């Protein structure tokens, strides 16, 4: 099942959470994996633990994306799987959002992702697989998530357009939309511990399966989309949310 031997996979933001679990899963299926992140110590620790290659690269800085592509090309030649996972979730009401809040999210979650795809394209093998990590947030009206939600909605648009543009090269492009996943991300939202736990218990009740996902459950879905098991799937959004977005019960 899902043999990825001889495939080269790049997982952006692979030193933590969903990216870490996905790097582990892809490597376990035989892929040669590269992970990225900004924090050099975290990248090298994770790379060592996972037995993969770690490259420090800030996705919000175009020159660092150029360096990443050059390093991957020098070490591996080509790429088969590109998982655009690195992203930030920051919350603010529209009334108080600053330009810095907007730029931080958009520069990383949209601009950085867009140019990562563009800059990797010359070294992605025909028949390769590109996967965006979006979020169910893109489709929900969660208060205070306007910029984050819009950033993920932008990726869903890119998903469809790029699936069309890259079909001539047999490159499949898909999006994964996780619901809430147990990762360190919740400590980085810019909310107090009390707010995070209130948010968590409210969301927990809305999720049909009554719990957050584990990173490994998102990783399994990414591995499926990355592999030949998904050979006729392109331009789609795979929602992995334990039923959150189909729950008709209003609390
Ligand atoms: N957790 C959830 O409930 C959930 C739900 C839906 C979607 N997602 C999405 O899943 C993705 C991963 O989130 P996570 O929950 O796994 O969070 P996480 O544990 O905080 O991981 C985020 C990863 O992104 C990297 N990163 C952050 N800024 C970066 C930058 N400028 N350049 C390169 N790498 C950067 C981080 O490494 P460094 O800090 O070293 O840079 C880290 O490896 C995000 O796109 C998030 O929006 C998460």
149 domain-assigned: yes
Q: What is the rounded average pLDDT for all residues in the chain?
A: 94
Please check the confidence at residue 130 and state whether its pLDDT lies above 80.
yes
2 domain-assigned: no
Q: pLDDT-based confidence at 203, cuts 50/70/90? A: confident
Compute the distance from residue 150 Cα to the ligand 1 centre, in Å: 16
Q: Are 155 and 132 in contact, with CB atoms under 8 Å apart? A: yes
DSSP output for 209-242 = TSSPBPHHHHHHHHHHHHSGGGTT--S-EEEEST
Q: Which domain holds residue 219?
A: 8-245
Q: Are strands 124-133 and 79-84 parallel, antiparallel or unpaired?
A: parallel
What integer pLDDT is reported at residue 191 of this predicted model?
67
Q: What is the rounded distance in angstroms from the CA atom of residue 114 to the CA atom of residue 121? A: 11
Q: Name the nearest CA neighbour of 179 among 239, 226, 121.
A: 239
pLDDT 10s digits, 6-61: 999 999 999 999 999 999 999 999 999 999 999 999 999 999 999 999 999 999 99
47 domain-assigned: yes
Please check the confidence at residue 238 and state whether its pLDDT lies above 90.
yes
CATH number at residue 76: 3.40.50.720
Q: What DSSP element (H or E) covers 185?
A: none
**Is residue 251 flagged as an active site residue?**
no
Ligand 1 pocket test, candidate residues 25, 34, 37, 90, most atoms within 8 A of CB = 37
- Which of 20, 102, 114, 148 is catalytic? The answer is 148
Number of separate domains in the chain: 1
Please check the confidence at residue 1 and state whether its pLDDT lies above 70.
no
102 domain-assigned: yes
251 domain-assigned: no
Query: 3-class DSSP state for residue 129?
Result: strand
Q: pLDDT-based confidence at 104, cuts 50/70/90? A: very high
250 domain-assigned: no
CA 15 to ligand 1: nearest atom: 43
With tokens 């009334």, the residue in question is 95
118 domain-assigned: yes
CA atoms within 13 A on the CB side of 243: 11
Q: Name the nearest CA neighbour of 68 among 113, 99, 1.
A: 113
Compute the distance from residue 112 Cα to the ligand 1 centre, in Å: 13
DSSP output for 137-178 = GGGS--TT-HHHHHHHHHHHHHHHHHHHHHGGGT-EEEEEEE
204 domain-assigned: yes
Which residues are near ligand 1 (CB < 6 Å)? 12-19, 36-39, 42, 58-60, 85-89, 108, 133, 135, 178, 180-181, 183-185, 188
Q: pLDDT-based confidence at 186, cuts 50/70/90? A: confident
Query: 3-class DSSP state for residue 32?
Result: strand
Task: Please give the average per-residue pLDDT across 119-144, as a whole number.
Answer: 97
Compute the distance from residue 168 Cα to the ligand 1 centre, in Å: 31
């Amino acid at each position: 099942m899902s043999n990825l031997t001889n495939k080269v996979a790049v997982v952006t933001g692979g030193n933590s959470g969903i990216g870490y679990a996905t790097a582990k899963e892809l490597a376990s299926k035989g892929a040669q994996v590269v992970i990225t992140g900004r924090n050099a110590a975290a990248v090298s620790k994770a790379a060592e633990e996972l037995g993969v290659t770690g490259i420090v690269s800030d996705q919000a800085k175009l020159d660092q994306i150029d360096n990443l592509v050059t390093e991957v090309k020098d070490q591996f030649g080509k790429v088969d799987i590109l998982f655009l996972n690195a992203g930030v979730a920051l919350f603010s009401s529209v009334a108080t959002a600053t330009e810095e809040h907007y730029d931080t999210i958009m520069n990383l979650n949209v601009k950085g992702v867009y140019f990562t795809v563009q800059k990797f394209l010359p070294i992605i093998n025909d028949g390769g697989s590109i996967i965006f990590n979006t979020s169910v947030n893109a489709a929900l009206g969660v208060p205070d998530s306007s910029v984050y939600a819009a950033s993920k909605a932008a990726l869903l648009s890119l998903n469809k357009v790029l699936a069309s543009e890259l079909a001539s090269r047999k490159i499949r492009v898909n999006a994964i939309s996780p619901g809430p996943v147990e990762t360190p991300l919740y400590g980085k939202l810019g909310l107090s511990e009390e707010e995070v736990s209130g948010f968590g218990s409210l969301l927990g009740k809305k999720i049909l399966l009554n719990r957050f996902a584990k990173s490994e459950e998102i990783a399994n879905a990414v591995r499926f989309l990355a592999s030949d098991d998904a050979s006729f799937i392109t331009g789609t959004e795979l929602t992995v949310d334990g039923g959150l977005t189909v729950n008709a019960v209003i609390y």
